[in-house]
Amino acid sequence: DKGNYRHFMAKEIHEQPEVVGRTLAHYVNCTAGRVELPIDLPFDFKDLKRISISACGTAYLAGLISKYWFERLARIPVEIDVASEFRYREAPMEPGELALFVSQSGETADTLASLRYASAEGQHVLSVVNVPTSTMARESDVIASTLAGVEVGVASTKAFTCQLTVLLALAIAAGRARGTLSAEDEKTIVDALIGVPGLMSEAIKREHQIEILAREVSKAKDVLYLGRGTSYPLALEGALKLKEISYIHAEGYAAGELKHGPIALIDEAMPVIVIAPHDSVFEKTVSNMQEVAARGGRIILITDEKGALEAGLDTMATIVMPMAHPIVAPIVHAVPIQLLAYHTAVFMGKDVDQPRNLAKSVTVE
Ligand code: F6R
């Protein structure tokens, strides 16, 4: 049931404050301001030398954001690959380490094959899944459920932000276990996470501005997305969302890679969407933006209140998010990139819930 929405995708974008709130309440003790995992882990984070993550598509990009979190908060090296590569790479794995899988459906063929490989290599297998009765859930040593509810739209939205929520809770738990995250810092991040549903509701209020902007984006043949740090995987996710439902060619790049090639593409015809909350790499991203502006590129900046004040650049548009702690900012900044892809595709008359050539659950290689 789509309720009052035109598409499941719209409904699922709007549901995010609620389902992210439900998911985080499952992993966090809100009064104590600390993570309390609802599962028993068959390993101790403090014994791990490495985590290997594999997944596909949007779930892979959630995993890529969590790499930054696990490394920063828990100081654990993280290796990550798309499952279709990982499964055939014959990656050497030391027994007793952690292999982490992320999947909405829990049925994706490549992710499942990777899971079986890791299991045979003596890894502890932990899966972040949305369908608790899925094959991956059954074959894992332990699952961390996302409580996104049924996701109908082929383009993943609420499952993605719930995956991020669970992965952040795991990274915080890992940081505590390894003594790399103080109780005080844990409380700061957990409090910030508890604030995320409210900030997502704020983010959704930019929908009208984004809808108008989508008309401009719909004229483009190519769109470039740029970001640094955790905004880099978000740039990849923005490009993925746009191409799968609007069929506009889009690419995501690490902002610092711009000068190593893609800068050659910049002209007035290609919108450049820059995702840059005011975090520790903000200044660096701004200088990449200046390089785009100097070549006549048209910039759509997605930032926060502080970033909007400090960017000091002429943009085609600036979409201003509420301030969020830098660790949780990617969960909030996911909302405008979803809305932009959605409204661009709707404006172009595309079938956003059933894009051509795509299936909700990819059970073949
Ligand atoms: C993109 C999208 C796909 C899935 C991918 C993995 O919007 O939905 O890229 O994320 O097919 O699917 P799951 O998470 O079911 O393993």
ipTM of the complex: 0.99
pLDDT digits (tens, 9 = 90+) for 85-98: 999 999 999 999 99
Work out which ligand 1 atom sits closest to the CA atom of 362: 11
pLDDT at 22 over 90: yes
Cα gap 137→142, rounded to integer Å: 8
> Quick one: pLDDT band at residue 198, thresholds 50, 70, 90?
very high
Contact 7, 1 (CB under 8 A): no
Alpha carbon 207 to its chain's center: 19
Per-residue pLDDT, averaged over 61-78, amounts to 98
State what percent of residues in the chain have pLDDT above 90: 96
Instruction: Output the pTM of the full model.
Output: 0.98
Nearest alpha-carbon partner for 111 in 57, 155, 159, 154:
57
Pairing of strands 249-254, 222-227: parallel
User: What is the residue-wise DSSP string for 271-326?
Assistant: EEEEE--SSTTHHHHHHHHHHHHHTTPEEEEEEEHHHHHHH----SEEEEEPP--T
pLDDT averaged over the chain? 97
Quick one: pLDDT at residue 208?
Answer: 98
State what percent of residues in the chain have pLDDT above 70: 100
Determine the distance separating the centroid of ligand 1 and the alpha carbon of 125, expressed in angstroms.
20
Nearest alpha-carbon partner for 252 in 87, 63, 102, 57:
57
pLDDT digits (tens, 9 = 90+) for 328-337: 999 999 999 9
Cα gap 11→221, rounded to integer Å: 28
Work out which ligand 1 atom sits closest to the CA atom of 157: 7
pLDDT digits (tens, 9 = 90+) for 93-129: 999 999 999 999 999 999 999 999 999 999 999 999 9
Catalytic residue, from 2, 284, 306, 360: name it. 360
Helix (H) or strand (E) holding 225: strand 222-227
Per-residue pLDDT, averaged over 252-277, amounts to 95
Pocket test of ligand 1: the residue of 53, 56, 154 to mutate, having most ligand atoms within 8 Å of its CB, is 56
Verify whether residue 306 is a known catalytic residue: no
Protein residue with its CA nearest to atom 7 in ligand 1: 155
Residues with CB under 6 A from ligand 1: 56-59, 103-105, 108, 111, 155-156, 240, 244, 361-362
Cα gap 354→73, rounded to integer Å: 38
Work out which ligand 1 atom sits closest to the CA atom of 361: 15
Protein residue with its CA nearest to atom 16 in ligand 1: 103
pLDDT at 357 over 90: no
Quick one: pLDDT at residue 215?
Answer: 97
Cα gap 61→229, rounded to integer Å: 13
pLDDT at 182 over 90: yes
pLDDT at 304 over 90: yes
Protein residue with its CA nearest to atom 3 in ligand 1: 57
Cα gap 193→328, rounded to integer Å: 6
Buried b (16+ CB within 10 A) or exposed e, 179-216: ebbeeeebeebbebbbbbbebbbbbbebbeebbebbee
